[in-house]
Structure 1
């Protein structure tokens, strides 16, 4: 087998895997959006810790469609030796590579951009905590997971929940993620004083791992 034939075969195999992966991700995304009830039952029984996947159906559809497109271009371009398909495939790969490099440069070199991003993130986060936490299941699930994984409470601190929908409808108590265990909900006097806001924990993570993330 010549070098060209070997490269052609490898191109077909790897892009075939990408195509099948895209098909699987797209199928999951469509399943989540069309028949969310059965998906929740199966996922809840098999892996309760992955229940947050029910909130990313549209993302799965978008990623799956993109992978299908890339796999199709790579496979057909390699098998048919189509210059047009292969050129489009490599142009997309090049654009992704440039975007990743640009993103890394922004993360590593332009802290002011990061500050602007954090300011916008702060406005959105505090708004969702006060208006949507406890009201919308998807927002509540995302925040519960974030506070659990980062071991934090609120965005700035626990006071983000003051006058919130959750605070007013739960007898002026704070959510589980802010409380000393094994409290389900708690008053201010029962809060875990060791927990900082999620912004502080996120900034700490970036300061320790910023270069790795970049």
Structure 2
């Protein structure tokens, strides 16, 4: 393999390492969103709400595995591995762009679904108070709109933190409402997911092109070797 092809090989290896990192970031982000949803699996909107973070986790795992295969194929200069890898990278590029566009289009509906979940948790606070406790302790908030929601009720300990043994209106009066806090959290991290998705898609497209170049170079070298022998 000539000098130019060797450079492409190592660039492909570096791009795959970047893809590995981006895949890990997507997995972490998706897991973070799911973990902060808490134990609310019996809500009707949970499947729709969880679809985006679950998709992010799945795509992140696929990127991680295929990028690892790409690293091996580039180092070994294996035509079969690199061509298989390039096909998968092209497919992933298309899926990644679809995901980014989907998140962009469904952003508002997704945020509205978040508000509905908090509303339902608030409505069921007397029967299933642990739902609101999950939000209040996990997002450092109190009540649906604010602590004033508990004016005629006892302020739960979760309004003062997961480890609090007692709480009062005075202690929690500066806490934001859970609807606002949850929406802000999701809105901020959706933007991160979108930009991360674009970065990963760019890396995948370049990796696809470079993998095709390496596979073609390795194939030509084998043909020349067979011809001279």
The TM-score with structure 2 as length reference comes to 0.47
Which structure has more relative contact order (CA 8 Å, sep 6+)? It is: 2
The TM-score with structure 1 as length reference comes to 0.49
